[in-house]
Structure 1
């Protein structure tokens, strides 16, 4: 969720697509308890210790990281064949779109018809951890996949509730960047990408003319909305939950944050009114075709290429902050985005599942898959090399290392993404329809979301 890639859960991804899920599914996620006993996996074992009735098979649900589900299958299938040659274990692959993934996971926990291993948006980690359905990665389990110290600390921070054994391990790390069209910038006489939001708005106004706009947003993408709300809130010194995990949606900082983001379309008018209806990856096409000159996204390279845009046509800069470094407030300019890989606790092939996780997080696979998807390896030893040392990747690596923050690791995080994302979708719709977006209207929408969160 995001997309996130995370967002998202655009908890996001390469190009995670929309991390949008139904509210019904999210409520169900938080309602499930640790007493889940449904068996998920490839076998039919009756062994209460989780024995391997069929140790030569695994089922794997992968997330949509590339331009299409078919593209992901082409990327992953050779790697799964490699794993089979190394271990003798055959992996049955299904790539699941983000719009379906969480509900599929929930159905698996209750029906017993699910995978052994699955990808999740990292922003969902605490929510899914609360169900009790995922295998905890304690020290003993981490040792089976090469050790906990191999992973980047910021990526590990988005694997579950603090103080508990992680419910997943990082697979692909992502951060938001500001993508900008070099030709459009040259035409407008803009010498360098904006570093603050006031500079971005000023540049966006120069770029908005002749049916083209300065920035593309996705106003109907719930995960993208919530991710940007979180970042803006951090920059204004706020948060959406207090230290006890209770929602604080209507604080002055959060109202200011949501209004500032929605105002990119509503007040500043540097995004097209039609962007209010964009829900999944449509903004990338606008950017790739020159209709929009800037884009806030995670690992968009694969999708931009599918739309005919070459890497040399655009640059990637850090997402702007409020008033420069150190400036006012916090300089958080991205959530810690990415994809985690998890194991169902009741899998009939736990040994094979952990071998597969070890394979997917090996240096070789981390370098190959993250470079293919335009992501950053969360395994420290896999980050060396030319692919991850380009100027663009350096920007994203620096963001993850110094200025990204994990979304709240609370059990209701998934519900937060849906409710706040929906409130912002409604505000974008108001703006597109010509209705004024005010601090009061923002506060009212957030108050409604908070009330639903607490019900």
Structure 2
């Protein structure tokens, strides 16, 4: 894949140069306005009214679904007609920043105090800084915790939830022994969960090692745990009933998920109010969880760099990110925002803040998504097809080698 990657970067860079030349011929338009692309469903419109009032800058928000974001950005680069500021998913940064799609903000950090790196969680910075240069400012963060039924886990000796992977396995065996159609934990098939389970066994991805990363005994240990949960029917192979329903009726008293599930469980399962909680990830040597979220970047062809920087600086403030949490329920990337009572007085939300101090990012390479899909295929062979683990991992290494060499 090296040739393909080289051609992609060269083509994208060439397009950027051409679009920059053509865009220089265009008028800058109203200097007191900004075009901003927001990814996702909820709108920033109510949030930015205060910024418009303070600065006199009109902000035009265009909402773009996440599943359309990648193609939309490619088109913008090709045409040279992109926004001034755009929201970027953390896993998208490496591809576009490496090709020059965004302004380098490194030299601006000292001028704009809200954009300073020490304001943010370390994990959030890993995907916004490429080759030592800052191309995005963390906007919101996301991580995963273990949701568990305090009453049912208490009955098997873990009222505060399992602290380690050994505890998780012990509790799961007791819970599954309750009878037919009784399981313990929904492990899920989200690749971000899988990365987390591997990190918790001490695995790390080293870009220099490539496919050899998956020969690490720590990665194999994760696969062994995964197989055990399905082989012993502690987790359900089939999709089964709705996840919240299974959590409510106790047939699946544990699952891993993000902060949005707190509201969903409270709304859809009010009968178990007071009978469930969240805790940090189980420890298998570490208890690292994934960190995701988004960043705010400035498009390379903007004619309004100063206004764009003012906007990003305002959005990066703890006050603005706190207001967005109240409106959109997305966790703030600015650490100072977590000092507010909205987080300190809510033990469940505070647990997410605790976990955010111990996180890791998925492999920060362009091929991350493709490799992740191969990992999931391998795990399906192990869990559903009872394939030998060593053979499955060898097959995974072969596929990863192909991806990285194309």
C-alpha contact (below 8 Å) 1:266/1:436 kept by paired residues: no
Corresponding residue of 1:46: 24
Alignment partner for residue 62 of structure 1, among 17, 38, 43? 38
C-alpha contact (below 8 Å) 1:263/1:269 kept by paired residues: no
State whether structure 2 residue 17 is matched by structure 1 residue 37.
yes
d(CA) in 1 for partners of 2:90, 2:224: 26
Q: CA deviation at 1:350?
A: 2.4
C-alpha contact (below 8 Å) 2:125/2:138 kept by paired residues: no
d(CA) in 1 for partners of 2:11, 2:205: 23
Alignment partner for residue 101 of structure 1, among 69, 81, 103? 69
What TM-score, normalized by structure 1, do the two folds share?
Answer: 0.74
**Looking at CA atoms only, which structure, 1 or 2, has the larger radius of gyration?**
2
Structure whose residues are more often helix by fraction: 2
Corresponding residue of 1:253: 217
Alignment partner for residue 357 of structure 1, among 294, 301, 312? 312
Corresponding residue of 1:449: 400
d(CA) in 2 for partners of 1:61, 1:135: 16
Q: CA deviation at 1:168?
A: 0.3
Alignment partner for residue 398 of structure 1, among 354, 357, 364? 354
Change in Cα spacing, 1:235 to 1:425, as seen in structure 2 (3 Å) is: closer
d(CA) in 1 for partners of 2:299, 2:6: 20
Change in Cα spacing, 1:247 to 1:213, as seen in structure 2 (3 Å) is: same
What TM-score, normalized by structure 2, do the two folds share?
Answer: 0.82
Corresponding residue of 2:254: 294
State whether structure 2 residue 160 is matched by structure 1 residue 205.
no
Change in Cα spacing, 1:433 to 1:165, as seen in structure 2 (3 Å) is: closer
Corresponding residue of 1:320: 282
CA deviation profile, 1:95-145 (whole Å, cap 9, x unmatched): 333333223322322233433222222233333321110111123255246
Gaps of 5+ in 2: none
Alignment partner for residue 119 of structure 1, among 87, 105, 128? 87
The 5 Å alignment of 1:141-160 reads 143-144=111-112, 146-149=114-117, 151-155=119-123, 157-160=125-128
Corresponding residue of 1:422: 373
Secondary structure of the residue aligned to 1:338 is strand
d(CA) in 2 for partners of 1:30, 1:287: 46
C-alpha contact (below 8 Å) 1:173/1:337 kept by paired residues: yes
State whether structure 2 residue 140 is matched by structure 1 residue 165.
no
Secondary structure of the residue aligned to 1:341 is strand
d(CA) in 2 for partners of 1:297, 1:29: 35
